[in-house]
Structure 1
């Protein structure tokens, strides 16, 4: 099993070590390729490291606060899913959906309310699939609250994510 795992790891890593070559074609144009062309002088191109987004965990609350909150919590699980936290979310028009994982199911008068960058977003709903529309590119924070009227019953952990929008000329 150790050799199989090593082989799979090498196969995954091979594309990351690909080399790019720069050369001048017959028409005098500068061209780039992942393989040096035959009979043409090609120079390897040094590429800068790729951008990455690191997840930043919020500071942990004191232990006694956590135990008090858990005893008052109406829900064992309340969290957002379907959001990438280790890479950018690609949404060219800024529209995407998030899912709410909740256990047990949402109770009677309770509703979900999103908090985008610490501000209420959209209308409260009892549906655990929530859509965000025309979100600007950049880093944002998102959480979901369970509310009853204007009272917050419980809030999920805050998720930090980055929206990438490609502008087409």
Structure 2
């Protein structure tokens, strides 16, 4: 397993468009490469698509919703909250990229999607995956919430989480 770990990390780091090949080397070890080796039978490896969210340019700001609109009695979900963000210390993300998890009970229903709100503005494309990635977020204090939406309608919104992003400053 020790020899396979660098190859697994390599697989994770490669872009989705690159082809990966799996083969057995002369010593009988399983190896991975982005080019099939000469004279060795190599099998292409199917990789799942990466989940990433690209920042969108902000639209005209919408008026903030009242607190009564955000917490509706008889909500569709018993639990809707973000996890994976530190609340007592800074989040170290040297390139400003990190992921957050959505805790939701019961599971996300049919046409519903998750939409992140970064600093009270929609961030990225809506998704049905409960692991969401933020890319190139500026250092400093931010707030983050997740909404469950059905088309353009907000079904439910999580409480907002305030956190600080810490990045390396390069002169």
TM range (shorter): 0.5 to 0.7
- Residue deviations 1:37-84 (CA, integer Å, cap 9, x gap): xxxxxxxxxxxxxxxxxxxxxxxx7xxx69x8232x000000000000
Alpha-carbon contact 2:115-2:148 (below 8 Å) kept: yes
Structure 1 gaps of 5+ residues are: 1-60
Which of 61, 70, 75 lines up with 2:73 in the alignment?
70
Distance 1:82 1:101 in 2: 10
Task: List aligned pairs for 1:1-169, cutoff 5 A.
Answer: 69-71=72-74, 73-169=75-171
SS in 2 for 1:85: coil
Q: Match of 1:69, SS? A: coil
Local SS of the residue matching 2:72: helix
Aligned residues: 104
Gaps of 5+ in 2: 1-66
Bigger Cα Rg: 1
Residues 1-55 of structure 1: CA deviation (Å, up to 9, x unaligned): xxxxxxxxxxxxxxxxxxxxxxxxxxxxxxxxxxxxxxxxxxxxxxxxxxxxxxx
Question: How does the TM-score come out when normalised to structure 1?
Answer: 0.59
CA RMSD in angstroms, aligned pairs only: 1.6
TM-score by length of structure 2 reads 0.58
Shift of 1:166: 1.1
